A and B are shown apart, each in its own frame.
Chain A
Amino acid sequence: MTLTTTHDVILSDDVITDYAIGALSPAKHVMLACQSEISQAVSERVAFQEDLAASMLEDGSSQSLSPLFMGNVLANLPPQERSDLNTSSDPENGLAPKSLRHMLGHGLQDMNWKSLVPGVAVHDIMGDRKTKDGDRLYLLKAKGGMKMPEHSHNGEEWTLILTGSYTVGEQLFTRGDMHIEDESETHSPHIDEGEDCICLVMTQGPLKMQGWLPKVVQRVVGI
């Protein structure tokens, strides 16, 4: 039997707290911002802790604005936006959360994918996948039916599923689910048949591939 995750089952309150107070790295912050746009359950948990963080503004220290601040801003106000301009009618666009489109400058349909191996392509967003440290954020697209090579990680790997689905062991991950793995786990996701699976991925170090062939491929393509 396949178990279905319920979007936020893996995400602990600690992560939500760090998100609310702005303590996550930019890459993780974007991941969670995207997830809370897709998942109602996560967005409610986030909203609660954001209210909490905002209410703490009252207790925090104030810093006066410089005397010219207000005049400068008021003298240079741009025209206002109409509220109805924000809604996009393009269904393809809707698949990419707004926080992601903000960084890409476009939706998922205008991607410039770089092929890694047949059936798998990536698009880098932040950081360099080949460097040793620092969070890296990229989109990964895998063809339906593919089995990804078995691997573990240096550091954490966060995967937010945007389209399609995949299975690891008995667990199914689908749109809106955040899959978090640390370096102790080895896994080999199986992309479900049909739709391409597009994920937003954050990794903190090079993946550790099992087996010689994936290792060679990794050295060549870098992931």
Chain B
Amino acid sequence: MAFGLEPVIVNTMTDEGVKPYNTGRKASPKSISAAKRDAQWLSAIAQKQDARALSDLFEIYGPKLKGWLMARGVGNGTAEDIVQDVMIKVWTKAASFDPVKASFATWVYRMTRNRWIDHQRKHGRMDIRDPELMKVIADDEVPSAEANFMAQQNSDILREQIARLTPSQQMAIRMAFMEYKTHKEISAETGLPLGTVKTRIRSAIQALKANMAKHVSQIQ
């Protein structure tokens, strides 16, 4: 898949199980913001030492975090060790979680990433990437603007805004953020000069920031 090629946008509206984008209707219990749900679990953990809430959180986030680590070449056992450390940290530090500062998704992602960097610091840097796995990720379809959208959830807003970028900007964001490729690697793979790769990623991020700012000013 070339960096500059326009990817095929799959219309997920027709896919089974994906509901069309819902505007302003009464929210179904399912569409209660994930961020709000997470914050409630966090406060149950902090105030009532509710271990059930912790396990509910990690039923959702555990496999995603483990997948994130393994996509970066971390082995199964180490990935679970890191997720375990993070889960314990969420338990012990639940009282310091502030939903105003960051969503739980960002908070737990940051802990996992930092824990992984710590692991590299202590055990040497790893650079094992499974080419098959990279191919699977690269062949994923780009989410379209019609994909699931829940209004209050920050990550969903971001994802929607990503879907509004031009196809080449979307590719730039995905290659950098999902496929864990450095600018040099993207340049080597696509044949684009390093400067162009940097400019594309930077301009995609700038466009995304501008869209987000517009979105925020619209809802205020």
Contact = CB atoms under 8 A, between A and B. Distances in A.
A52 B63 contact: no
B51 A54 contact: no
A88 to B, nearest CB: 14
B182 A23 contact: yes
Q: Which of A24, A26, A61, A74 has the most CB of B within 10 A?
A: A61
Interface in B27-59: 45-46, 49, 51, 54-55, 58-59
Contact of B177 (A17, A30, A70, A79): A17
A86 interface: yes
Interface string B197-220: 010011001101100100000000
B173 interface: yes
Contacts of A21: 113, 176-177, 180
Given A13-B202, A55-B105, A18 B182 contact: yes
A87 to B, nearest CB: 10
Contacts of B182: 18, 23
Interface in A54-78: 54-66, 69-70, 72-74, 77-78
Given A62-B63, A63-B70, A65-B62, A54 B103 contact: yes
A63 B63 contact: yes
B93 interface: yes
B178 A69 contact: no
B92 A54 contact: no
Interface in A132-185: none
Given A21-B180, A61-B71, A63-B67, A83 B92 contact: no
A82 to B, nearest CB: 6
Contacts of A66: 80
Interface string A40-57: 000000011111111111
| From A54, A64, A70, A77, residue with most partner B Cβ within 10 Å | A54
A69 B84 contact: yes
Contact residues of A: prevailing secondary structure: helix
Interface residues of A, number: 49
A218 B158 CA distance: 50
A50 B52 CA distance: 28
B129 to A, nearest CB: 12
Contacts of A69: 62, 80, 83-84
Contact of A26 (B58, B94, B121, B143): B121
Nearest to B98: A83
Given A65-B83, A81-B95, A56 B62 contact: no
Contact of B121 (A52, A58, A79, A126): A126
A17 B176 CA distance: 8
B171 interface: no
Interface centre among A33, A47, A63, A78 (most CB of B within 10 A): A63
A18 B71 CA distance: 16
B141 to A, nearest CB: 10
A160 B200 CA distance: 28
A26 B92 contact: no
Lowest 6 A-B CB distances belong to which pairs? A55-B155, A83-B95, A54-B109, A26-B121, A62-B63, A22-B113
Given A20-B177, A51-B158, A60-B68, 15 more contacts: A12-B202, A22-B116, A26-B118, A29-B117, A50-B106, A50-B109, A51-B155, A59-B140, A60-B178, A63-B67, A63-B76, A63-B79, A70-B58, A74-B51, A80-B94
Interface of B: 45-46, 49, 51, 54-55, 58-59, 61-68, 70-72, 76, 79-80, 83-84, 87-88, 91-96, 102-103, 105-106, 108-110, 113-114, 116-118, 120-121, 125, 133, 136-137, 140, 143, 154-156, 158-159, 173, 176-178, 180, 182-183, 198, 201-202, 205-206, 208-209, 212
Interface of A: 12-14, 17-18, 20-26, 29-30, 33, 47-66, 69-70, 72-74, 77-83, 86, 126
